[in-house]
Amino acid sequence: MNWRARLLKLDGLTPEIDDLGALAWGTLADCDPDAELVFLGTMEGKPCFAAVPPEGADGPAYAQPQIWSAMNLLSDKDLATYGGARSLVDWHARHRFCARCGSATEIAKGGWQRNCPEEKGGCGAQHFPRTDPVTIMVVEHDGRLLLGRQPNFPPRVFSALAGFVEPGESVEEAVAREVKEEAGIAVRDVRYVSSQPWPFPSQLMIGCHAIADDDALTIDKTELEDAGWFTRAELEDARAAGADGNDTLVFPRRVAIAHHLVTWWLEQKT
């Protein structure tokens, strides 16, 4: 065992936080000797690992308030480290068997691959961690932004509309389809703004901006609980109000790309 190696401390998939509000690290002696380990890279010259938990994610991100609380404490650097580690160990926990033949797979290449070993009756297939593309977009009309909320969101929280890119779609087509499906709005002039990895379980959020020619909403209640157009003044007021928001709106959380997309829009228009 390498005494210099560091182990990211996780309670299942939830990060442990130290007294300074940073990710907690231990040694390889802190993990189950039978656990699978993934290599995260080096930090200060020391190799860093995370252990694969017995089970993968249980439920969507909004159903895990303890993880949200921990993420709100972390620095951007620690968020990036945790996000990559969480996505990777969660993938391993949910892919212990081959999708081709059903045989047990084994970890390979430091945790960045799983193999189905032919010498143990497998088919020899190689499996790699996946990333799922998701478009998330701020839609503008007459100086206002369209935001929506799902039924599971905390009270008064609104966010940018989002949806997975389907096979055969471009990013621009996915943006237009999702906005039309969820809010009944046709959009044009879709452009890319920024992206963010999102480890719930392993998405790449592709942030975009689009223009709507009208503001008549037809909300798909199976997708959204509510949606509405928000003025610059309303968004600025909610942002200034902090984490709890004002009486009508909570600004998107800073750890989510929606926060940065709305902030980008506010700063672009000043």
Residues pairing with 6 in the sheet? 48
pLDDT band at 60 (very low <50, low <70, confident <90, very high): low
Q: What is the mean pLDDT of the chain?
A: 93
d(CA 12, CA 53): 6
Find the length of the chain.
Answer: 270
d(CA 258, CA 72): 15
Residue range 164-203, pLDDT digits in tens: 999 999 999 999 999 999 999 999 999 999 999 999 889 9
CATH H-level, domain 132-268: superfamily:
Nucleoside Triphosphate Pyrophosphohydrolase (3.90.79.10)
- pLDDT above 80: residue 251: yes
- pLDDT above 90: residue 83: yes
pLDDT band at 21 (very low <50, low <70, confident <90, very high): very high
Residue range 106-115, pLDDT digits in tens: 999 999 999 9
d(CA 142, CA 111): 49
d(CA 247, CA 237): 10
Which of 66 and 9 is assigned the larger pLDDT? 9
Domain locations in the chain as residue ranges? 6-94, 132-268
Residue range 29-42, pLDDT digits in tens: 999 889 999 999 99
d(CA 177, CA 142): 21
The pTM of the full predicted model, rounded to 2 decimals, is 0.91
